[in-house]
Structure 1
Amino acid sequence: MKTFSKRALLRASVAPAILGASLIATAAIAQDAPQAADAEMGDTIIVTGSLIKNPNLARSTPVTATTADQIELKQNNTAEEILREIPGIVPSIGSAVNNGNGGASFVNLRGLGSNRNIVLIDGNRLVPAELNGRFDLNNIPLALIDRVDVLTGGASTTYGADAISGVVNFVTKSDFAGLEANIANQLTEEADGHYVRADVTLGANFDDGRGNVVFSVGYQQSDPVYQGDRPFSNVSIDSFTGLGGGSGTSTPSRFTNVNTTGADSITTGCGLDGQPACNAVQGNRQVTAAGGAFRGTSAFDAYNFNPFNIFQTPFERFNMYGAGRYEVSDAVEVYSRGIFSKNTVSTIIAPSGAFGISVVVPLSNPYLSAAQRNAFCAFDTTPGVGYTARFSAAECAAAATATSPTDPNYRTVTTTLSRRATELGPRISDFTTTFFDYRIGARGGITDSIDWDLSGGYGESENVQTQQGYWLNSRVRQALLATNTATCLTDTNGCVPLNVFGPDGSITAAQNAYLTANSQVTTKTSLAQVKGTISGDFGVASPFGTDSLAFALGGEYRKYGASQESDLLSQSGDLGGAGGAAPNIDGGYDVYEAYGEVILPLVQDKPFFQDLTLEAGIRYSDYSVDGGSGYNTTTWKVAGNWTPVDGIKFRGNYSRAVRAPNIAELFAPVNTTLTNLDSDPCAGAAPTQNANLAAVCIAQGATAAQLGSIINDPAGQVNSTGGGNLALGPEKSNSWGLGVSLQPAALPGFSLTVDYYNIKITGAITSPTPDDVISACFDNITAASASDPACTGIRRDPGTGALFGEAAVVGGLPQTLSNLGKLATDGIDVQLNYQKDVGFAKWALSANGNWTNSSTFQATPTSLNRECVGLYSVNCASIQPEFSWSVRNTLSFDSVDLSLLWRYIDGVKYEDGDAFVGTLNGKQVDFNRIPAEHYFDLTSRFHVSDEITLTMTVQNLLDNQPKVVGNSIGSTSYNSGNVYPSTYDALGRRYTVAAKLRF
């Protein structure tokens, strides 16, 4: 029977052995920091990237580690902030993004997508936060994190499907004993964005060290930072004109199907109130109401939504973490871990309204002025053929007094209405997430060198989105069907007639109260899992080696379930400006897996072969999808490392990985939402000059009368239609890497690793980019056919001819999912560490750098194979610079540490190169380029006593402001407030004071 004496010896050297074996060589910034001591007392051995828990075996796959000490120096508040700043990791949805943020934060390894990696705690999966299978980083308990390991490349053999671009493993502090309390307070230079974080951790060893328990509670709260409070973002700027941009849904109201040219001797409002004369193109079809009259439109009519949007999302979280272990006998140890988190994220965006919805208006509407009524009546029903008014002057006058639909003179007009509900206030969505994930298991020894480990876990996440401040489209329509100011023509629910014909402020509180109602969407996910592993060695070594062959064998079962339950309002798409309906979704799948790994030290302690080790692994997975067909996959890996002499090591790896389609990709019904597009080929005068283009635009749903007056959405958004597909299969990837590690004996304290990575994904589950859809139809417009499915699949607003409008009416761009995509990336990671006693202090240098050579994406075989390194656009959504690095220098004195962090982001440019160049606010600007950026953070840490440490950090020391490129040049999820706030600091200089108490 195996005893735990050998396991106890392993515990005492876990952290240094694993770090050395993995060639991470991360410097201990503060030489006497307590984290270093804690890290050396792990209760189990965690090797990121392998199931074999032998600390003496070197890894062949590079891992980047961020230590608890580095997190303390940086004063990161969330796990997403930590990962966002690691070179080579591309920012994903997080706290800096407001519009499009669903209340969660994710990680995107190598720019391959936030759904193509796995987030682990101590090597174990956790329940996803939503239907795309992604884990919400807001649920990570930072107070107990000892280090964060990032492994790039296919890791499906070790961790199963989804680890196609790598894994992020949060390793917790183990065998924690005592009490530790942390509190941190952060404020920006502008005295906003207040952020407070507090944690208390208790731990104890008992029964002569046979057991340990730890419990931690934490609280976080952050205030919003509004884009209106920063000079570079308080006004929305059009990326292609440099003029004030924004949304076409503005105030006063915008209408279609009106005539302001004065035909038929009808008086109009053109040129009134100092406004320019009516535009000859738009004036006949789309105008803006002001002060009871109509006026011609201009670029400055776009609504400035920026002041309402935010750069720091309001966030509040309560979290608990508990773990325990106990050696019930010399051969069996039981353990358990539980995480609970409840957090609320509030997203705030500009007011709701009627976003291009078709409405019917009686000509006897009490709020309609005579000039406005006449303009509706005089609409030319056959433009280009000969003027024909909708109603004659006599009919129009008679209809003005016909208050009953039974009156023969009663007349209505149909128009598309765009009106911003400025009187109502912003749209607010509160996302409240309740998350728990429990695990229990037992481990022990079969022989003196072979261990077993059996565990099971279950987790659930429930996210409740409560939306408030939204107009209901159906009630807007009902409230416009009125012929007096007291009642509506169809009044079964207390309808209040609506005045959208007046200036800003014309809508009363009673009108708004009728138009609004709260709605709710609940997303639930669950994950049940069981896994068992036998690992160790047989005591048999190679004839030329000294270490024994190590192995791991095991099996795993996982069952995923997820649902989206929407109330009737959310399902109907009735919310004005909600981006489309939120349909009910329900689905799940389970998977049975068997796997094995071996590590074979072939040659050791020989000339030019200090060590030569091979690794291999294989995993078989059998999937069963609810309501669909099942499938199976096989993944594998081979790797090796060679140490010819002490101080230099070469390593290489090759792996085959897969990603199974997630629940949203399988079960989401077809739905119309929003995407981004900067230019519609049917907009402007082009269709009137090209007969073939005109025919295509008409085939897509525009009318001949609309050609020449179709506009691009000033906000750069268009409708998009897509959904899930039960026929989807798993993606496949091949990844390989080569690296070298140097630790020369002649330079103590120095280490350098250089690793090349190459990842290619085929059969990728993708949808075409907006430009892919447009290009498929319009690239060769002289030869394009109006019956080509690539053209007819695009659907336009029948009332305006535009690609944006009411989701129930305008399909927009077809962006369906398929297994036809390809992704690929390659580059080089560099890690350098150096420590030296310089006499008056101890100096520690830690540097991480990345060169991304290529990052390509091809949605379908006929789509452009798009290169996105160093580029930004609606197609290359999140910025991925060619070069980036992070360098930290720390001087440690007796009781004080001074540390300076330098982060570099290489310059990038706009993909198409046709954005605005000119003078803006008296300065020459070029929206086609964002120059290289340098950020500096300065930290002073004072070890007041053995029990008290004070840390003061200044982030963005030089108060660098982000480069303005306008609001319509990229994806709304990343391009916001005229900048890219997830990549470039939009908050400015900020100060953090933190205290740590230890007993």
Structure 2
Amino acid sequence: MAMQLGAVAPAHAQEAPPPGQPSAAAQAVSEEITVTGSRIVRNGYDMPTPVTVISTKDLQASAPANIADYVNQLPAVSGSGTPATNIRGLTSGAAGLNTVNLRNLGSNRTLVLIDGHRTVASTLAGAVDTNLVPQGLIKSVEIVTGGASAVYGSDAVAGVINYILDRDYTGIKGDLSYGQTTYGDDNTYRATLTAGFKFAGGRGHILLNGTIVQRNGIYGVPRDWARNGYYMTQNPAYAPGNGQPQYMPSAHAGLNSVTAGGIVVNGPARGTYFGQGGVINHYNYGENYTANSEWTIGGDWQVNQHINGTSLQPAERMRGAYGRLSYDITDGINVYAEASYNRSLGLSWGGYQTDRGNIAIKGDNAFIPAALLAQYPGIATAGLTLGSYNLDYPTRSSANLRQVQRYVVGAEGSFDLLSTDWHWDTYYQHGVSKNHVSLISPNRVTLGYARDAVWNADHTQIVCRVTRDGSADPLAKGCVPWNSFGVGVNSPAAVDYAMGNPWTNQRLQQDVEALNFSTNIANPWLKPIGLAFGVEHRREATSGYTPDFAKTGWYSGNFSDTFGHYNVTEGYVETDVSLPFNIDFNGAVRLTSYSQSGRVVTWKTGFTWNPISDLRLRVVRSRDIRAPSLSEMFVTGGGNTNALANPWAGGASARFRGVPQGNLNLKPEKADTWDFGLVYRPSFLPGLGLSIDYYDIKVNGEIASLSAQNIVDRCYEGNEDLCKQIALSMPSNLAAPAYSYGNNWNRTTGPVPGFADFWVYTIPYNYVSERARGIDFEVSYLTPLDRIAESLPGTLSLRGLATRAIEDTTNNGTQAPTDIVGQNSGSLTKWKYRVTANYTLDEWTMQLTGRGFSAGVYDNTYVQCTSGCPASTALHRTISDNHLPGAFYVDAYLARRLKLGGVEGEVYFQATNLFNRDPAPFAFGPSDTSSPEPSANRGLYDYLGRAFRIGLRFSLGG
């Protein structure tokens, strides 16, 4: 384990350290700070790789419900997955996940470690849920930015998040807290209890920890800011060449092709919609409406709103237990065993099943209102088409139960060889993640049977056509007719027939064996030479089970079973060498052999230089990799149902089924990284530290899949190979190669209107390159205030973190490279920052935190204009307003230490988003708004409002 390699003092918590150096507080008290980022442990300011350390006190002052809430606020972290941002991924197994994403390069390119060890992934894509870290035991969190694959292994393209546990703790301590928003919702309970005891005269140690977190979430969107009908609409006044912008962020807007109880979208009855109890109404399309637009601005826009079928904040239930037993069998050998179990349940609503003007109703449907037939008798012959978000059946929802077990047995020790002290450690780790995903969703087949409702032979009862005429399909048995005309018009039996609970089980297993050695070799002229080397073998495997009924036919579900495994064997060497002229060299090389994707070499070389005592310069050059995930190699089906623009129908919305397929020919991604930085600690101002680091990461052969929309568009433009990834009906064998499906239709004429049974197969390839550049800033200052004036009591510490993203350009070789920096529709803003001011006086601690990000745009490729606009193209859409504002939030923390007998305690109060700032209005659309999100970018803006947390910490004998 990295923290125990090398002959230096043990690590201590940091108050406010700049990246890769001890804090001002540490300097003030001459406390030696040790951080990792290397297999050879030395003081952080000696290392060329920037390392940001978050201490226990930092975490306590933030009082997060879980560790991810804090880490995701750090400027170097962008685009992380949270339960709120994963809410639309009903079938992906990501519901309830908290993942960390450094540099916005993807959570699968950030390596997550616990005490320097890998942990089993929580999803097929390789994401690790940070909820499984024993949170009451975290001593510090180390963020190693820049490449670290040569030191720690694959997936460290953007860096490493290393959670350091307090493995030597003795005593009993706990933390109890309760929180809610200023609106009285999202009630959250958190409790941790930790106990550590020595036995056998101090040779043995037992450590136990338990964690309970319950977050009730917010079902629906009970916020005023979400009720303005804010969408990205197709400008009704736009026509090619008329100088008007094509896109227009609009308030009081809605899709006129859907209502709660159905709206007629074709023929002479167009605009007739059906309300409570089937009441007939006529829709007001508003003044800005045009006949070819699905969007209404003004008019009856409120009729189309259905955001309350979505969770603003998913609910979470987490339980965790951790135990560790260690024993010194000799003075130089310690053996240990660890076991942990985590159970996490994520519950969320994913939106009503929306049919955007694609419900075909036959003319003899028995539920067509008589009054409508009397007014429009032609319906009896021609039928009609409805759009609906089907309020009579429940919103789609998911329950994602994740159970993770992790077991580690190991030994560590030291020995003397050739007058040199050596440290060694070895361990075996076994991890299992079991993921059970259960959905509530309508079934396409049964709902289709139920909607086709007719009178029975003697015209006395409404039945399903399949019941009257007979059907051999087992799903037709017990069909209950469905009334598509109104709200509150269907019985519970009809709902039960149309709805179902598709589910799947997925199992992930990771086995790791490792052996490491390290030493510091005496150097009579300069500092000791650090040396570390080791070997590791790892096996990753997955298996699953889905019942046959859950594999096809669902609006949400359609799960598939994924089976596969691969092995990794690797060895590494790392060294630290002092050179003349105050220069230090750190280098590492690792040879890795994958059973599926071959051999690859990663390496790192870095230098630090002290031209003067106050200034340290550093540079790192590295080659890093990410291996293909189990999902990218082995997935053979599943997918989602969604909407895209049909180019054969002038861009009209159409439903499709997206089906992912694995690729066994994938190779590891390769990244080349430069880091340049400086650390300045002026001797004339003790307590001040400053660091600036520039990073440049180039990833080649990045694994990605074209989106369904891109596949369809490029097929339409003539790419025959991509046409082979499109089919118009479900193939008989989902595991067969996707390219065999595309020969049953003509590219020129396109698919049948409406994309009935339209399937798009997405396949990953090593075809994308990406470049990310930016600058990290960190400054800290700690001083007793009596340094400033003798009469001033207490201690003040300041810390500022900021990242300026300069570039994040992706090139897929098929269109112009796109740079997403500053697109506040995503997560990578130009500036992201966090500033804290902490004041300690006797038993009191007070902290103010300011956090925020800069203003940006929806899309860097958009052309903003209001008149005289250039031609709007697929690569450069014109838009009336491309601006999205930045945000600044203030958090406050107050704590009072107490002592009662032998028990030390602390009561604390925290308020986040102190001024209750609403998120900026964000316009989703215009293509897929079939399941509307709240009009906020929840991956960037604070969307809950002001929130409070009160708590009590206590310790006994620690």
For the aligned pair, the TM-score class normalised by the smaller chain equals 0.7 to 0.9
Q: 1:804 to 1:143 in 2, by over 3 A?
A: farther
| Residues 899, 786 of structure 1: alpha-carbon distance in 2 compared, 3 angstrom cutoff | closer
- Indicate the residue corresponding to 2:666 in structure 1: 728
Asked whether 1:962 is paired with 2:919, we answer yes
Residues 1:907 and 2:895 are matched in the alignment? no
> Residue 935 of structure 1 is aligned with which of 880, 883, 889?
889
Counterparts of residues 104-115 of structure 1 (less than 5 Å):
104-115=97-108
Q: Which residue of 2 aligns with 1:251?
A: 260
Letter of the aligned partner of 1:245 in structure 2? G
1:371 Cα offset (Å): 6.8
Give the conservation status (yes or no) of the 8 Å contact 1:236–1:305. no
- Residues 200 and 865 (structure 1), Cα distance of their counterparts in 2 relative to 1, 3 Å cut: same
Which residue of structure 2 aligns with residue 74 of structure 1? Answer: 62
SS of 1:109's partner is coil
In structure 2, the CA distance between the partners of 1:972 and 1:65, relative to structure 1 (3 Å rule), is farther
Change over 3 Å in CA distance of 1:204–1:661 after alignment to 2: same
CA contact (8 A) 1:238 1:246 kept: no
State the partner residue of 1:291. none
- Structure 1 contact 130–562 (Cα < 8 Å) conserved: no
Aligned match of 2:226 in 223, 233, 238? 233
Map of 1:624-639 to 2, 5 A cutoff? 624-625=595-596, 630-639=597-606
CA distance in 2, matches of 1:478, 1:732: 52
Distance 1:948 1:968 in 2: 51
Query: What is aligned with 1:367?
Result: 367
1:458 Cα shift? Answer: 0.3
Superposed CA offset, 1:949-970 (max 9, x none): 1111111111111100223279
- SS of corresponding position for 2:759: coil
Offset, 1:564: 3.9
Moved more, 236-245 or 979-988: 236-245
State whether structure 2 residue 586 is matched by structure 1 residue 615.
yes
- Tell me the residue number matched to 1:830: 777
Structure 1 equivalent of residue 88 of structure 2: 99
Question: 1:217 aligns to what?
Answer: 210
Q: Return the offset for 1:496.
A: 4.0
The answer on whether the counterparts of 1:175 and 1:205 sit within 8 Å (CA) in structure 2 is no
Cα 1:278/1:50, change in 2 over 3 Å: closer
Residue 743 of structure 1: which of 681, 688, 699 is its match?
A: 681
Between 1:460-469 and 1:633-642, the stretch displaced more is 460-469
Distance (whole Å) between structure 1 residues aligned to residue 165 and residue 479 of structure 2: 58
Question: Is 1:594–2:603 an aligned residue pair?
Answer: no
- Other-structure match for 1:848: 801
1:460-514 per-residue CA deviation (whole Å, 9 max, x = no partner) reads 0111111125345334325525433354343466534424342222222221122
The Cα offsets for residues 588-607 of structure 1, whole Å up to 9 and x where unpaired, read as 1111111111111123xxxx
Distance 1:729 1:977, change over 3 A: same
- Structure 2 counterpart of 1:24, from 18, 21, 25: 21
SS of the residue aligned with 1:228? coil
Question: In the alignment, what sits opposite 2:338?
Answer: 337
- Going from structure 1 to structure 2, the CA distance change for 1:908 and 1:287 (only over 3 Å counts) comes to closer
Structure 1 counterpart of 2:805, one-letter code: T
> Which of these residues, 805, 812, 815, is aligned with residue 863 of structure 1?
815
In structure 2, the residue corresponding to 1:115 is in which secondary structure?
helix
Question: Which residue identity is paired with 1:488?
Answer: C
- Paired with 2:26 and 2:63, the residues of 1 have a C-alpha distance of 14
Q: Partner residue of 2:509?
A: 526
Q: Does the aligned pair in 2 maintain the 1:974–1:980 contact within 8 Å?
A: no
CA distance in 2 between counterparts of 1:970 and 1:555 reads 50
Q: State the partner residue of 2:148.
A: 155
Alpha-carbon deviation of 1:989?
0.8
Q: Does residue 836 of structure 2 align to residue 888 of structure 1? A: yes
Does residue 582 (structure 1) correspond to residue 535 (structure 2)? The answer is no
Q: Which residue of 2 is the match for residue 563 of structure 1? A: 543
Contact 1:825 1:856 in 2 (8 A): yes
CA change 1:14–1:906 in 2 (3 A) is same
Match of 1:993, SS?
Answer: strand
- Tell me how large the CA RMSD over aligned residues is: 4.1
Q: Distance in 2 between matches of 1:843 and 1:975?
A: 46
Decide whether aligned partners of structure 1 residues 256 and 736 sit closer, same or farther in structure 2, where only a CA change above 3 A counts.
Answer: same
Structure 1 residue 670, shift from structure 2 partner:
5.1
Pair 1:989-2:946 in alignment: yes
Contact 1:352–1:471 (CA under 8 A) maintained in structure 2:
no
* Distance (whole Å) between structure 2 residues aligned to residue 521 and residue 926 of structure 1: 45
Q: Distance in 2 between matches of 1:30 and 1:247?
A: 65
> Matches of 1:124 and 1:65 in 2, distance apart?
18
Looking at structure 2, the residues matched to 631 and 788 of structure 1 have their Cα atoms a distance apart, in angstroms, of 31
**Quick one: structure 1 residues 734 and 757, their matched pair in 2 at CA, closer, same or farther if it must change by over 3 Å?**
same
1:421 aligns with 2:421: no
Distance 1:853 1:832 in 2: 20
CA 1:247–1:224: 2 relative to 1, 3 Å: farther
- Aligned-pair distance for 1:415? 7.3
Q: 1:136 to 1:20 in 2, by over 3 A?
A: closer
Distance 1:966 1:31, change over 3 A: farther
1:863-912 Cα distance to aligned partner (Å, 9 max, x none): 22110110145xxxx32111121111111101101111111211111115
Equivalent residues of 2:451, 2:483 under 8 A apart? no
Give the superposition deviation at 1:916. Answer: 11
Query: Among the aligned pairs, what percent are the same residue?
Result: 22
How far does residue 301 in structure 1 lie from its aligned partner after superposition? 8.4
The 1:71–1:17 alpha-carbon spacing in structure 2 relative to 1, beyond 3 Å, is closer
What is the aligned partner in structure 1 of residue 635 from structure 2? 668
The one-letter amino acid paired with 2:352 is P
Instruction: Give the 3 Å change call, closer, same or farther, for CA 226–804 of structure 1 in structure 2.
Output: farther
The TM-score, its normalising length taken from structure 1, stands at: 0.80
Distance 1:561 1:366, change over 3 A: same
Q: Does 1:765 align with 2:717?
A: no
* TM-superposed deviation, 1:21: 11
- 1:372 Cα deviation (Å)? 6.0
2:466 aligns to what?
A: 490
The Cα of 1:549 is off from its aligned counterpart by 1.5
Residue aligning to 1:385: none
Q: 2:584, 2:609 within 8 Å by CA — same for their partners in 1?
A: yes
3-state SS of paired residue (1:512): helix
The one-letter code of the counterpart of 1:205 is K
In the alignment, is residue 711 of structure 1 matched against residue 652 of structure 2?
yes
CA offsets, 1:338-379, max 9 Å, x none?
Answer: 221111110113334667767674x44332345766999958
1:982 to 1:231, Cα distance in 2 relative to 1, 3 A: same
Q: Is the 8 A contact 1:355 1:806 kept in 2?
A: no
Among residues 619, 624, 643, which one is paired with 1:652 in the alignment?
Answer: 619
SS at match of 1:843: strand
Stretches of structure 1 lacking an aligned partner (at least 5 in a row): 1-5, 41-45, 263-270, 289-294, 380-392, 397-412, 604-608, 683-696, 779-784, 919-924
Local SS of the residue matching 2:494? helix
Query: How many residues matched?
Result: 873
Distance 2:283 2:925 in 1: 26
CA shift for structure 1 position 811: 3.0
Summarize the Cα distance change of 1:867–1:52 in structure 2 as closer, same or farther, 3 Å threshold.
Answer: same
One-letter amino acid of the counterpart of residue 941, structure 1: A
CA–CA distance in 2 between the matches of 1:742 and 1:951?
35
1:256/1:83 Cα in 2 relative to 1: closer, same or farther (>3 Å)? same
Spell out, residue by residue over 1:7-37, the C-alpha distance to the aligned partner (whole angstroms, 9 max, x if none). Answer: 99967543279998973334669999xxx99
List aligned pairs for 1:773-812, cutoff 5 A: 776=714, 809-811=757-759
User: Hey, what does 1:401 align to over in structure 2?
Assistant: none
**Structural mapping, 1:424-435, within 5 Å:** 424-435=393-404
Aligned counterparts of 1:360 and 1:719: Cα–Cα separation in 2: 22
Deviation at 1:242, TM superposition (A): 3.0
Contact 2:831–2:853, Cα closer than 8 Å, also in 1: yes
Shift of 1:92: 2.0
TM-score, normalised on structure 2? Answer: 0.83
Counterpart Cα distance in 1 of 2:18 and 2:519 = 17
Report Cα offsets for 1:512-568 as digits up to 9, x if no partner: 1222222211121110000001111333x2x741x2211111110000012343222
